[in-house]
Amino acid sequence: MNRTLVGVDLGGTHLRAAVATGPTTHAVPVVRDTPARDGPAAVLDAVAACATHAAGGATIDGLAIGIPGPLDATTGVVHATPNLAGWHEVPAAQELAGRLGCPVAVHNDARLAGFAEWVAGAGRGTRHFIFITASTGVGGALVLDGELYNGAGSAGEVGHTPVGPDMPPCNQGHPGCLEGSASGTGIAHAARQALDSGVRSSLSGANPATLDARAVEEAALAGDELSIRLFADAGRVLGRAIGGLINLLAPEVIAVGGGLISAGDLLFAPMRRAITEIAFEWPAAHCRVVEAGLGGDAGLVGAIAWAVRSFGDLDHTSAGPE
């Protein structure tokens, strides 16, 4: 690389910045706590400081950042964020450009993670690819005919696929979204409800305030029947949603990432069985459903790849798989 390009992955707890060393590779990232409760200005100040530190005194020629929540990737305006206080119609690209003196590209964090999986991970070599991240919430990205698809600006919100009006609400309060059932938040909520209703479980002595999906996963791996059922329920709902996506878009590969995939077959076995409940035989036979390949680095790799695509030299701007 002969330009200093920086990628930033902004999360509700931590933010990471790194300099691109190639189209999908980066130097050791700089990590800082995200001042999530202090408002947009404080967060953008922290992003600029982290990026400057990562650049090591070099002039930054371009920066790309993944931000959670709905936004306009063309204008760089963030409409709202689920885990950052006070974000409403924030011109993030403009604000960061003013702080850093370089052009800035803003994109949704899940979309950039999906872009990373397409160019360097589980979707490499495809033209039609779907990425789903199942973690605290459920997000996603669509690559259609060799392009990261944004629609009118927010395409890829897989977590808000409807799975039934009587199903639990998502984090936005919408009843029956996939996120309400197949996310870490959804699994923890279902566990608390079951325990409150008197279901016997090894989780019965857990503090409801701190009970999370990881605790449910550990109990399931130890043989707890309730916890196994909760992951089976989440996997089935996720699988049916994937079956619908296969019918709708006929992708070559669907990659599932995020923290929940650490549960392995607790989630994936019921998910795979449920795909066949919905998906037509032919497109399902021509679509591989796999674990994502980049793990927790996907968001930062995606930001790096997007910075190179947006601001790199001609030799480094190819967005498609090699």
Asked if 285 and 172 sit in the same domain, the reply is yes
Per the structure, how many domains does the chain have?
2
Asked if 240 and 301 sit in the same domain, the reply is no
Asked if 101 and 147 sit in the same domain, the reply is no
Query: What confidence tier does 152 reach under pLDDT thresholds 50, 70, 90?
Result: confident
Tell me if 309 is assigned to some domain. yes
Asked if 176 and 33 sit in the same domain, the reply is no
State how far the Cα of 100 lies from the Cα of 112, in Å rounded to an integer: 21
Higher pLDDT, 174 or 238: 238
Asked if 206 and 146 sit in the same domain, the reply is yes
pLDDT of amino acid 318: 33
Query: What confidence tier does 42 reach under pLDDT thresholds 50, 70, 90?
Result: very high
Three-state secondary structure call for residue 171 = coil
Beta 129-134 vs 138-144: how paired, if at all?
antiparallel
State how far the Cα of 279 lies from the Cα of 251, in Å rounded to an integer: 12
Query: What confidence tier does 154 reach under pLDDT thresholds 50, 70, 90?
Result: confident
pLDDT of amino acid 317: 33
Asked if 49 and 133 sit in the same domain, the reply is no
Asked if 205 and 312 sit in the same domain, the reply is no
Tell me if 236 is assigned to some domain. yes
**Beta strand spans in 88-197 (E):** 88-91, 104-108, 129-134, 138-144, 147-148
What are the pLDDT digits (tens) for 251-261? 999 999 999 99
Asked if 289 and 302 sit in the same domain, the reply is no
**Exposure string for 53-62, b = 16+ CB within 10 A, e = fewer:** ebbeeeebbb
**Exposure string for 201-225, b = 16+ CB within 10 A, e = fewer:** bbbeebeeeebbbebbbebbeeebe
State how far the Cα of 314 lies from the Cα of 142, in Å rounded to an integer: 25
Q: How many CA atoms within 13 Å lie on the side-chain side of 109?
A: 24
Backbone phi, then psi, for 89, in 5-degree steps?
55, 50
- Domain range for 95 is 5-113+297-316
CA 43 to chain centre: 20
What are 76's two structure tokens?
């760089």
- Say yes or no to pLDDT of 264 above 70: yes
Burial class (CB in 10 A: 0-12, 13-18, 19+), 277: exposed
Query: What confidence tier does 313 reach under pLDDT thresholds 50, 70, 90?
Result: low
Residue listed under structure tokens 């604000």: 95
pTM: 0.92
Asked if 126 and 273 sit in the same domain, the reply is yes
Angle, nearest 10°, between helix axes 213-221 and 184-196? 70
pLDDT of amino acid 41: 98
Neighbouring-strand partners of residue 80: 88
Tell me if 321 is assigned to some domain. no
pLDDT of amino acid 1: 53
Phi-psi group of 153: left, alpha or beta (phi > 0 → left; psi -120 to 50 → alpha; rest → beta): left
What average pLDDT does range 85-110 have in this prediction? 97
Tell me if 238 is assigned to some domain. yes
Q: How many CA atoms within 13 Å lie on the side-chain side of 213?
A: 23
Asked if 233 and 136 sit in the same domain, the reply is yes
Tell me if 322 is assigned to some domain. no
Q: How many CA atoms within 13 Å lie on the side-chain side of 172?
A: 17
CATH of the domain at 275: 3.30.420.40
Residues 6 or more apart whose CB falls under 8 angstroms from that of 229 comprise none
Asked if 55 and 138 sit in the same domain, the reply is no
Asked if 35 and 166 sit in the same domain, the reply is no
State how far the Cα of 187 lies from the Cα of 212, in Å rounded to an integer: 8
What are the pLDDT digits (tens) for 156-210? 999 999 998 899 998 888 999 999 999 999 999 999 999 999 999 999 989 998 9
What average pLDDT does range 121-143 have in this prediction? 96
- How far is the CA of 244 from the CAs of 63, 237, 260, 265, 284, in angstroms? 36, 11, 21, 21, 10
